[in-house]
Amino acid sequence: MMDLSLLQALEREKVLEVLQRDKLLRSAEEERIRRLKMELQEIRRKGAKSFSRQYSERTCARCQRPLGKFWNSGAVCRGCSHRICSKCRVGVSTLDWKCTVCHAYREVKIKSGEWFLEEKAKKYPPDAENCETTGEKLLMSYQRLSHIAVVPPTPPPSYDAPPFNRLAVREIRIVHETQRETGEGEAS
Protein backbone atom coordinates (compact mmCIF):
# COMPACT_ATOMS: atom_id res chain seq x y z
CA MET A 1 0.00 0.00 0.00
CA MET A 2 1.12 3.54 -0.72
CA ASP A 3 2.43 5.57 2.22
CA LEU A 4 0.97 9.08 1.97
CA SER A 5 3.36 10.44 4.60
CA LEU A 6 6.14 10.41 1.99
CA LEU A 7 4.21 12.83 -0.22
CA GLN A 8 4.41 16.58 0.05
CA ALA A 9 1.28 18.51 1.00
CA LEU A 10 0.46 19.54 -2.58
CA GLU A 11 0.98 16.00 -3.85
CA ARG A 12 -1.21 14.61 -1.07
CA GLU A 13 -3.91 17.13 -1.92
CA LYS A 14 -3.85 16.10 -5.60
CA VAL A 15 -4.07 12.41 -4.67
CA LEU A 16 -7.00 13.15 -2.37
CA GLU A 17 -8.77 15.14 -5.11
CA VAL A 18 -8.49 12.15 -7.43
CA LEU A 19 -9.74 9.79 -4.71
CA GLN A 20 -12.72 12.05 -3.97
CA ARG A 21 -13.62 12.21 -7.68
CA ASP A 22 -13.33 8.43 -7.83
CA LYS A 23 -15.68 8.12 -4.86
CA LEU A 24 -18.23 10.43 -6.54
CA LEU A 25 -18.02 8.49 -9.80
CA ARG A 26 -18.50 5.20 -7.98
CA SER A 27 -21.61 6.47 -6.21
CA ALA A 28 -23.02 7.81 -9.51
CA GLU A 29 -22.34 4.44 -11.13
CA GLU A 30 -24.04 2.61 -8.25
CA GLU A 31 -27.08 4.87 -8.68
CA ARG A 32 -27.16 4.16 -12.45
CA ILE A 33 -27.02 0.41 -11.83
CA ARG A 34 -29.74 0.68 -9.17
CA ARG A 35 -31.99 2.45 -11.71
CA LEU A 36 -31.28 -0.24 -14.32
CA LYS A 37 -32.23 -2.95 -11.84
CA MET A 38 -35.43 -1.12 -10.90
CA GLU A 39 -36.34 -0.88 -14.60
CA LEU A 40 -35.70 -4.62 -14.90
CA GLN A 41 -37.99 -5.30 -11.92
CA GLU A 42 -40.71 -3.23 -13.60
CA ILE A 43 -40.31 -5.18 -16.85
CA ARG A 44 -40.47 -8.45 -14.89
CA ARG A 45 -43.59 -7.29 -13.05
CA LYS A 46 -45.32 -6.31 -16.30
CA GLY A 47 -44.22 -9.50 -18.01
CA ALA A 48 -45.25 -11.91 -15.25
CA LYS A 49 -47.91 -14.50 -15.99
CA SER A 50 -51.20 -13.33 -14.52
CA PHE A 51 -52.52 -15.41 -11.63
CA SER A 52 -56.06 -15.01 -12.94
CA ARG A 53 -55.19 -17.11 -16.00
CA GLN A 54 -54.57 -20.80 -15.80
CA TYR A 55 -51.16 -22.04 -16.91
CA SER A 56 -52.94 -24.62 -19.02
CA GLU A 57 -54.24 -21.80 -21.24
CA ARG A 58 -52.00 -21.12 -24.21
CA THR A 59 -51.03 -17.51 -23.63
CA CYS A 60 -47.82 -15.54 -24.01
CA ALA A 61 -45.98 -15.43 -20.68
CA ARG A 62 -45.14 -11.76 -21.22
CA CYS A 63 -48.20 -10.02 -22.70
CA GLN A 64 -50.85 -12.70 -21.93
CA ARG A 65 -52.12 -12.68 -25.52
CA PRO A 66 -53.78 -15.95 -26.52
CA LEU A 67 -51.57 -18.20 -28.62
CA GLY A 68 -52.88 -20.16 -31.57
CA LYS A 69 -52.45 -23.85 -32.25
CA PHE A 70 -50.92 -23.41 -35.70
CA TRP A 71 -50.21 -19.69 -36.36
CA ASN A 72 -48.39 -17.66 -33.77
CA SER A 73 -48.33 -20.64 -31.48
CA GLY A 74 -45.39 -19.15 -29.57
CA ALA A 75 -41.96 -20.56 -28.89
CA VAL A 76 -40.09 -21.40 -25.73
CA CYS A 77 -37.53 -18.82 -24.57
CA ARG A 78 -34.10 -20.35 -23.98
CA GLY A 79 -33.56 -18.05 -21.00
CA CYS A 80 -36.66 -18.66 -18.88
CA SER A 81 -38.40 -21.60 -20.63
CA HIS A 82 -41.71 -19.71 -20.94
CA ARG A 83 -43.81 -19.77 -24.10
CA ILE A 84 -43.53 -16.37 -25.81
CA CYS A 85 -45.45 -14.83 -28.74
CA SER A 86 -43.57 -13.34 -31.70
CA LYS A 87 -44.22 -9.75 -30.53
CA CYS A 88 -42.50 -10.30 -27.16
CA ARG A 89 -39.23 -11.59 -28.63
CA VAL A 90 -36.03 -9.60 -28.92
CA GLY A 91 -33.14 -10.84 -31.01
CA VAL A 92 -31.09 -10.72 -34.15
CA SER A 93 -32.79 -13.56 -36.01
CA THR A 94 -35.79 -15.86 -35.79
CA LEU A 95 -33.61 -18.56 -34.23
CA ASP A 96 -31.47 -16.47 -31.87
CA TRP A 97 -33.84 -14.54 -29.58
CA LYS A 98 -34.90 -14.07 -25.96
CA CYS A 99 -38.09 -12.82 -24.37
CA THR A 100 -38.27 -9.17 -23.31
CA VAL A 101 -37.54 -9.99 -19.66
CA CYS A 102 -34.51 -12.21 -20.38
CA HIS A 103 -33.21 -9.63 -22.86
CA ALA A 104 -33.58 -6.82 -20.27
CA TYR A 105 -31.81 -8.98 -17.65
CA ARG A 106 -28.95 -9.57 -20.10
CA GLU A 107 -28.73 -5.83 -20.84
CA VAL A 108 -28.53 -4.99 -17.13
CA LYS A 109 -25.71 -7.50 -16.66
CA ILE A 110 -23.83 -6.02 -19.62
CA LYS A 111 -24.35 -2.35 -18.68
CA SER A 112 -23.52 -2.90 -15.01
CA GLY A 113 -20.45 -5.03 -15.65
CA GLU A 114 -22.00 -7.78 -13.54
CA TRP A 115 -21.12 -10.43 -16.16
CA PHE A 116 -17.42 -9.56 -15.75
CA LEU A 117 -17.56 -9.76 -11.97
CA GLU A 118 -19.29 -13.16 -12.16
CA GLU A 119 -16.67 -14.54 -14.55
CA LYS A 120 -13.86 -13.10 -12.40
CA ALA A 121 -15.38 -14.69 -9.28
CA LYS A 122 -15.45 -18.08 -11.05
CA LYS A 123 -11.73 -17.88 -11.85
CA TYR A 124 -10.56 -16.06 -8.72
CA PRO A 125 -12.65 -16.60 -5.59
CA PRO A 126 -13.16 -13.33 -3.70
CA ASP A 127 -10.86 -12.65 -0.77
CA ALA A 128 -13.07 -11.89 2.24
CA GLU A 129 -10.36 -9.83 3.95
CA ASN A 130 -9.58 -7.68 0.90
CA CYS A 131 -12.97 -6.18 0.06
CA GLU A 132 -12.15 -2.46 0.01
CA THR A 133 -10.65 -0.59 -2.94
CA THR A 134 -7.15 0.85 -3.01
CA GLY A 135 -8.65 4.34 -2.99
CA GLU A 136 -10.58 3.57 0.19
CA LYS A 137 -7.41 2.22 1.80
CA LEU A 138 -5.50 5.37 0.85
CA LEU A 139 -8.23 7.60 2.28
CA MET A 140 -8.20 5.61 5.52
CA SER A 141 -4.40 5.76 5.79
CA TYR A 142 -4.50 9.52 5.22
CA GLN A 143 -7.10 9.92 7.94
CA ARG A 144 -4.91 7.94 10.36
CA LEU A 145 -1.85 9.94 9.29
CA SER A 146 -3.42 13.37 9.67
CA HIS A 147 -5.82 12.58 12.54
CA ILE A 148 -8.50 14.62 10.78
CA ALA A 149 -11.49 13.72 8.68
CA VAL A 150 -10.96 13.81 4.94
CA VAL A 151 -13.23 16.39 3.36
CA PRO A 152 -13.50 17.08 -0.34
CA PRO A 153 -11.03 19.76 -1.40
CA THR A 154 -12.46 23.21 -2.01
CA PRO A 155 -11.79 24.73 -5.39
CA PRO A 156 -9.14 27.44 -5.42
CA PRO A 157 -10.34 31.05 -5.55
CA SER A 158 -10.60 32.47 -9.04
CA TYR A 159 -7.93 35.14 -9.23
CA ASP A 160 -4.78 35.61 -11.26
CA ALA A 161 -1.99 34.14 -9.18
CA PRO A 162 1.49 35.60 -9.39
CA PRO A 163 3.99 33.56 -11.37
CA PHE A 164 5.39 30.49 -9.61
CA ASN A 165 8.47 31.38 -7.57
CA ARG A 166 10.70 28.41 -6.70
CA LEU A 167 12.80 30.45 -4.31
CA ALA A 168 9.75 31.48 -2.25
CA VAL A 169 8.52 27.86 -2.10
CA ARG A 170 11.96 26.72 -0.95
CA GLU A 171 12.05 29.39 1.76
CA ILE A 172 8.58 28.38 3.00
CA ARG A 173 9.65 24.73 3.08
CA ILE A 174 12.76 25.63 5.10
CA VAL A 175 10.64 27.60 7.60
CA HIS A 176 8.24 24.64 7.98
CA GLU A 177 11.10 22.19 8.47
CA THR A 178 12.69 24.46 11.07
CA GLN A 179 9.38 24.79 12.92
CA ARG A 180 8.90 21.02 12.83
CA GLU A 181 12.41 20.42 14.23
CA THR A 182 12.03 22.97 17.02
CA GLY A 183 8.44 21.98 17.80
CA GLU A 184 7.02 25.42 17.03
CA GLY A 185 3.71 25.83 15.25
CA GLU A 186 2.38 22.38 16.16
CA ALA A 187 -1.37 22.04 16.40
CA SER A 188 -2.52 21.29 19.93
Q: Which residues of 16-48 are buried (b: 16+ CB within 10 A; e: fewer)?
A: beebbebbeeeeeeeeeeeebeeebeebeeebe
Q: What is the pLDDT of residue 161?
A: 47
- Locate the domains of the chain by residue range: 19-147
What would the mean pLDDT of 30-37 be, rounded to a whole number?
Answer: 89
Residue 120 pLDDT greater than 80, yes or no:
yes
Q: Which residues of 72-110 are buried (b: 16+ CB within 10 A; e: fewer)?
A: eebbebeeeebbbbeebbeeeeeeebbbbbbbbbeebbe
* Class for the domain spanning 19-147: alpha beta
